C-alpha cells in the first residue's frame, strides 16, 4: 500500500507536465501499456484467457473514463482540486461496500473515515488561493472520482471471488480502458492533437506507464484481494498528501503549515482504521 500511495500520489503532478491534449495523453498511455502488461504476464508464466478479459470489461471502461477526467481536471485547475474530491471516495465506499462487497464497516471505521476526509479537506483548503477553480474543473473531478470508485469496487469484487492474477487483471483492464478511450479520441481530436506529444512528454508518459499505471495498479489489484475496500480506500487518502507535496515541488503550488497539520490528521485516521478490521455483512 505504501508503494501504491507513493506512485499514485506522484501520478497527477507528473501527468500535469504532459503538454498534449488530455484524451490524447490518456490514449497513448493506455495503448502503450497494453503490450507491456501482456508481455509481463507472459514472462511471469500467466496466460490472458478470454474469460479473464470478459471479467475486466466494466472495470476497464470505468478506469479509462476516470483517467480522461483526471487529466481534464489537472489541466483546468490545481492538483489540490482533484485531491479534495478524491477525499470523498472513502465515504462512497462505506455507502456501497456492505451491499456490494459483503463488508460491514463498524462505527469506528465510519468515525475515522470522517476524520480522514476532514483532514484531507484541511490539506486542500489550506492552500488558499490555490483552491480557486472553475465549476467545470469541479464537475470533471466529480466525474473522475465516480468512475474511479466503480473501478475500485469492481476490482475488489471480482478479485476477491475469483482467482485471477493481478497482472492478468490489469492487462485486461488496460485493454478495455484503451478501447473505451479510442472512440472518444477519434471523435474529438485532430491530426495536430495526435502529433502534439513530443519531447519530454514521452518521458512523463513512460513514468506513468511503468510506475503509476504498471507497478501501482498491478499492486493495487493484488492488494484489494487481501484488504477490505472500506479500509484500503481510506489508506489511499494519503496519496493526496503525496500529490500536493509533489505539486509544491514541481509546479510551485503553495504548501502551508495548515496543510501539514491536515496531513498529520489523515495519517492518524489511516492508523486508526488499520488497527481494527471490518466485519462481514450480516
Give domain limits for the chain.
2-280
Query: What is the pLDDT tens value at each position of the chain, 282 positions in all?
Result: 888 889 988 988 999 899 999 899 999 999 999 998 888 888 888 877 888 889 999 999 999 999 999 989 888 877 877 777 777 777 667 666 666 667 677 788 788 878 878 887 787 777 666 556 677 888 898 899 889 888 888 888 888 788 888 888 999 999 999 999 999 999 999 999 999 998 899 999 999 988 887 888 888 878 877 777 666 767 777 887 888 888 888 888 777 788 778 878 877 887 777 677 666 655
**Overall residue count recorded for the chain in this entry:** 282
Cell numbers describing residue 224:
484489494
d(CA 282, CA 276): 18
Q: List strand residue ranges (DSSP E) for 36-160, in order.
A: 103-104
Q: What is the dihedral of CA 21, 27, 30, 32, to 10 degrees?
A: -90
Rounded distance between C-alpha atoms, residue 261 and residue 243, angstroms: 16
CB 164 within 8 A of CB 55: yes
pLDDT of residue 110: 80
For residue 107, give Cα distances in angstroms to 87, 91, 95, 185. Answer: 19, 13, 13, 44
Q: Distances in Å between the alpha carbon of 91 and those of 45, 114, 181, 230, 282? A: 38, 8, 28, 9, 20
Return the pLDDT at 57: 95
Spell out the SS3 assignment of 28-40. Answer: HHHHHHHHHHHHH
Q: Quick count: other Cβ atoms within 10 Å of Cβ 153? A: 21
Q: Name the burial class of residue 222, with classes exposed (0-12), middle (13-18) and buried (19+) by CB atoms within 10 angstroms of its CB.
A: middle
Distance of CA 181 to the CA centre of its chain: 17
Position 143 scores a pLDDT of 92
Question: Could you tell me the pTM of the whole model?
Answer: 0.79
Is 279 in a helix, a strand, or coil?
strand
The pLDDT value recorded for residue 32 is 93
Amino acid at each position: 500500500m505504501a508503494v501504491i500511495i507513493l506512485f499514485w500520489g506522484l501520478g497527477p503532478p507528473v501527468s500535469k507536465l504532459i503538454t498534449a491534449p488530455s484524451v490524447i495523453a490518456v490514449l497513448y498511455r493506455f495503448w502503450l501499456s497494453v503490450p507491456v502488461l501482456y508481455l509481463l504476464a507472459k514472462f511471469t508464466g500467466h496466460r490472458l484467457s478470454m474469460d479473464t478479459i470478459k471479467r475486466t470489461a466494466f472495470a476497464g471502461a470505468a478506469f479509462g473514463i476516470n483517467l480522461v477526467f483526471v487529466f481534464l481536471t489537472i489541466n483546468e485547475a490545481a492538483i489540490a482540486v482533484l485531491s479534495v474530491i478524491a477525499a470523498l471516495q472513502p465515504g462512497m465506499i462505506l455507502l456501497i461496500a456492505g451491499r456490494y462487497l459483503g463488508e460491514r464497516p463498524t462505527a469506528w471505521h465510519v468515525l475515522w473515515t470522517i476524520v480522514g476526509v476532514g483532514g484531507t479537506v484541511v490539506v486542500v483548503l489550506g492552500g488558499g488561493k490555490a483552491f480557486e477553480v472553475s465549476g467545470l474543473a469541479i464537475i470533471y473531478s466529480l466525474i473522475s472520482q465516480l468512475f474511479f470508485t466503480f473501478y475500485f469496487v469492481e476490482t475488489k469484487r471480482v478479485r476477491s471471488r475469483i482467482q485471477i492474477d493481478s497482472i492478468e487483471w490489469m492487462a485486461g483492464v488496460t485493454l478495455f480502458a484503451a478501447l473505451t478511450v479510442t472512440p472518444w479520441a477519434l471523435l474529438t481530436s485532430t491530426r495536430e492533437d495526435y502529433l502534439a506529444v513530443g519531447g519530454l512528454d514521452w518521458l512523463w508518459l513512460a513514468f506513468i506507464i511503468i510506475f503509476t499505471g504498471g507497478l501501482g495498479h498491478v499492486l493495487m489489484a493484488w492488494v484489494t484481494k487481501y484488504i477490505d475496500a472500506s479500509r484500503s480506500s481510506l489508506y489511499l487518502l494519503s496519496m493526496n498528501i503525496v500529490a500536493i507535496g509533489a505539486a509544491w515541488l514541481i509546479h510551485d503550488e503553495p504548501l502551508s503549515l495548515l496543510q501539514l497539520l491536515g496531513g498529520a490528521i489523515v495519517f492518524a485516521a489511516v492508523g486508526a482504521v488499520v488497527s481494527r478490521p471490518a466485519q462481514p455483512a450480516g
